[in-house]
Copies of this chain bind each other. A is one copy, B any other.
Amino acid sequence: MNAFDESLASSSERASGSGRPPPPAPVESAGPGSSIDGWLLTRLRAVLGDPPVEFAVKERALVGPAAESAVARVTFANRRTLMPILADPPLRFGDAYSEGSVAIDGDLASLLETVYRSGLAAAKSGSLLRRATGALRRPHKNTLAGSRDNIHHHYDIGNAFYSLWLGRTMAYTCAYYPTEDATLDEAQVAKMDHVCRKLRLKAGESVVEAGCGWGTLALHMARNYGVRVRAFNISREQVAYARERAAREGLSGQVEYVEDDYRNIRGRFDAFVSVGMLEHVGVANYEALGAVIRRALQGRGRGLIHSIGRNYPAPLQPWIEKRIFPGAYPPSLGEMMGIFEPSNLSILDVENLRLHYARTLRDWLVLYENASERVRQMFDEKFVRMWRLYLAGSVAAFTTGTLQLFQVVFAPGESNDVPLTRAHLYPR
């Protein structure tokens, strides 16, 4: 831990995602130069759209909203920490927080939610399209080799690490809570069934999965729907884990895990499914992905893509893109149509599960906090804080509508093998 006083990163330095933050304590003292610090903090708060949050430089200055209305307090260790954040808050705040030179009094997820909201309110909707233009043209280095590096960076951190907080299913994607009181594990199983019902899987059919994580969905489909699955993934650690799991369950004959890129899918299948891979594909590769899908699907085939998305094109939060998910990009639905339209794939159903992802992330965050001592032993304090910020920031992004979660069901344009209604998705 650097220039920052350990004692400040104290009691409330957790991001449980629920519960009221403690009322911020009054500022205790103001040292020399505190008026400059106050001016800088006021500027920072203005840049963020004047959120109901207190900002402080430790023992020197404090600015904030009218008494009692503050959601949390953000305390910077010193002016040296504050300056770069003022220049580039989205990127530098994350780094400063990870390094321990920013302390939070109150709930981290609620704080970030508040800051997201005030930023959104400040942005004029008329400027959304302009802001989007850059994102559209931004190249993503998702070549075969580039994708491998990017995926390795995130998913090969270690299966032991992920198993600490993903729950029993090891599913690292948005769950589906069919009722308010469903648990994380129940919701992950419900998500898989929701996907399988949307695909109308029948025993004996073949499925190709692009980006299979730790293999949970493939096993679920094979075990519960009697299908054969060929599941692709370029994360070596995940594939090793998935193969071992299939062997342990005696499903190796029905599920084949292939350590390869989705672009190398060959053969014909009754269904195509991809849950949480599209974020890593890059808009420039969407037309090619559509061609891969079109080639893979039989005339009566069905497909489903489940992906984080946006209400309008915008670049990924820069700190997340730099530190957590290099090469990732959540598309708008309009951008996603670049997959389907050139290949005459017909959209049958789109469902937005944004608030389910906010809840999934809150559930993960609780497990993560409970395991934070183990994470610290595996890595270090900086890592613990970095991933806390990432998870809490994601809660905030889905809660405020900064991010969306789209499940898109589609079929070859000429297929009339379409159910009359969607009632079969809601069995009682």
Contacts and interface: CB of A to CB of B under 8 A. Distances in A.
Contacts of A332: 337, 341
Contacts of A129: 287, 341-342
B294 A313 contact: no
A177 interface: yes
Interface string A292-315: 001000000000000000011100
A294, A342, A345, A356 — which one has the most chain B CB atoms within 10 A of its CB?
Answer: A342
A423 interface: yes
Contacts of A348: 351-352
Interface string A314-333: 00000000000000000011
Given A349-B352, A414-B117, A125 B422 contact: no
A420 B426 CA distance: 13
Interface string A406-428: 10000001111010111101101
A49 interface: no
A90 interface: no
B350 A347 contact: yes
A167 interface: no
A338 B120 CA distance: 20
Nearest to A177: B420
A179, A340, A401 — which one has the most chain B CB atoms within 10 A of its CB?
Answer: A401
A34 to B, nearest CB: 36
A341 B346 CA distance: 21
Label chain A's interface by main secondary structure. Answer: mixed
Interface string A351-376: 11011100000000000000000000
Contacts of A128: 341-344
Given A426-B421, A426-B422, A341 B313 contact: yes
A178 interface: yes
Contacts of A179: 420
Contacts of A312: 341-342, 344
B334 A341 contact: yes
A180 interface: yes
A75 interface: no
A399 interface: yes
A400 interface: yes
Interface in A144-165: none
Contacts of A355: 416, 418, 420
B414 A346 contact: no
Contacts of A423: 178, 426
Given A337-B334, A425-B422, A344 B311 contact: yes
Q: Which 3 residue pairs of A and B lie closest in terms of their CB atoms, listed nearest first?
A: A334-B337, A350-B350, A312-B341
Interface of A: 117, 120, 125-126, 128-129, 132, 177-180, 287, 294, 311-313, 332-334, 337-338, 340-352, 354-356, 399-401, 404, 406, 413-416, 418, 420-423, 425-426, 428
30 contacts: A117-B414, A125-B343, A125-B344, A126-B342, A128-B344, A129-B341, A179-B420, A311-B341, A311-B344, A311-B345, A311-B346, A311-B413, A332-B337, A333-B337, A333-B341, A333-B347, A334-B334, A334-B338, A346-B352, A346-B404, A347-B404, A348-B352, A349-B350, A349-B351, A350-B350, A354-B418, A399-B416, A422-B426, A426-B426, A428-B428
